[in-house]
């Protein structure tokens, strides 16, 4: 499998491509990383150095890849945080170019906007761009519950309302939706859930909730789920493998006392998921 991953990158820590590439490589996947920003560290520190990469420069890199005759070998285009509005057009163009070269390729979009606790942390125009132009051309989207609500103009909270919101999202274009950080009020105390839905059904998986915010864990989740789903075509299996790997990564990080994901130390959890959580069919 080959994945073209168009995301941000940092020198220190693990978010964007700096979070997604290595776990995919440990699965034996060839990754072509195209960076949209190059920062010293993620912006959650409140201070960082580096710059956004101009959309035309990102386009140039993708064009250079195309000139090597590689786009026909790409199985998945993956995108995450978008630092500016121009990058959306570049990503959509890249998806079209890849699918023209390989009609069986899929596009997996992580529509990064914010979360329920922090609110929206991207420029105001980005969520609109994602909703109106990027998500409709995606095959897989991996929003959290907050992002799902924005995309669909709803307020998902219960399992039923989240499923209804997913149906609205799927009507926009994507056939498969992974909802991360599902926090329905009737779940068991001290747990958190992920929900995967495609044309064959809907499954939810529940894991312990660790009192820890791990920047980049969503990027790892989107990458692993997209790869597993592409490889198996099985939403439940992809959900179980992803939940297993990501929980072990976050738990290892939490126990380390470090702020940044212990991405390298957790590498065996990507290559050999323990599969300690079972997905329950809910539709």
Q: What is the pLDDT of residue 267?
A: 98
Contact status, residue 26 vs residue 227, Cβ threshold 8 Å? no
- Tell me how far apart the alpha carbons of residues 220 and 234 are, in angstroms, rounded to a whole number: 19
Q: What is the pLDDT of residue 122?
A: 73
- Local structure of 140: helix, strand or coil: strand
Residue 84 contacts by C-beta under 8 Å, 6 or more apart in sequence? Answer: 52, 55, 123
Q: What is the pLDDT of residue 120?
A: 66
- Tell me how far apart the alpha carbons of residues 214 and 244 are, in angstroms, rounded to a whole number: 16
Q: What is the pLDDT of residue 85?
A: 80
Q: What is the pLDDT of residue 82?
A: 80
Q: Which domains does the chain have, with CATH numbers?
A: 2-281 (3.40.1190.20)
Q: What is the pLDDT of residue 242?
A: 98
Tell me the average confidence (pLDDT) per consecutive run of 10 residues in the chain, 283 residues long.
97 98 98 96 94 96 98 97 86 98 98 74 80 95 95 95 98 97 92 97 97 92 98 98 98 97 98 98 97
Q: What is the pLDDT of residue 149?
A: 94
Task: Determine which helix (DSSP H) or strand (DSSP E) holds 96, and give its type and residue range.
Answer: helix 86-101
């Amino acid at each position: 499998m080959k994945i073209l991953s168009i995301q941000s990158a940092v020198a220190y820590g693990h978010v964007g491509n700096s979070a997604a590439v290595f776990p995919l490589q440990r699965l034996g996947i060839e990754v072509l990383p195209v960076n949209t920003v190059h920062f010293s560290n993620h912006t959650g520190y409140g201070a960082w150095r580096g710059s956004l990469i101009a959309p035309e420069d990102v386009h140039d890199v993708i064009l250079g890849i195309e000139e090597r005759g590689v786009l026909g070998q790409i199985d998945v285009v993956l995108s995450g945080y978008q630092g500016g509005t121009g990058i959306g057009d570049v990503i959509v163009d890249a998806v079209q170019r890849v699918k023209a070269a390989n009609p069986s390729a899929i596009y997996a979009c992580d529509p990064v906007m914010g979360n329920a606790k922090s609110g929206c942390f991207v420029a105001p125009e980005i969520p609109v761009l994602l909703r109106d132009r990027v998500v409709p051309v995606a095959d897989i989207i991996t929003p959290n519950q907050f992002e799902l609500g924005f995309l669909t103009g709803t307020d998902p909270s219960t399992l039923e309302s989240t499923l209804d919101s997913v149906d609205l999202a799927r009507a926009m274009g994507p056939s498969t939706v992974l909802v991360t950080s599902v926090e329905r009020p009737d779940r068991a105390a001290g747990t958190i859930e992920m929900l995967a839905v495609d044309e064959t059904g809907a499954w939810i998986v529940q894991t312990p909730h660790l009192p820890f915010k791990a920047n980049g864990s969503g990027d790892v989740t989107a990458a692993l789920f997209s790869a597993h789903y592409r490889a198996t075509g099985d939403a439940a299996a992809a959900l179980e493998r992803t939940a297993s790997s990501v929980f072990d990564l976050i738990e290892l990080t939490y126990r380390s006392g470090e702020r940044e994901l212990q991405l390298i130390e957790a590498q065996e959890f990507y290559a050999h998921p323990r599969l300690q959580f079972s997905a329950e069919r809910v539709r």
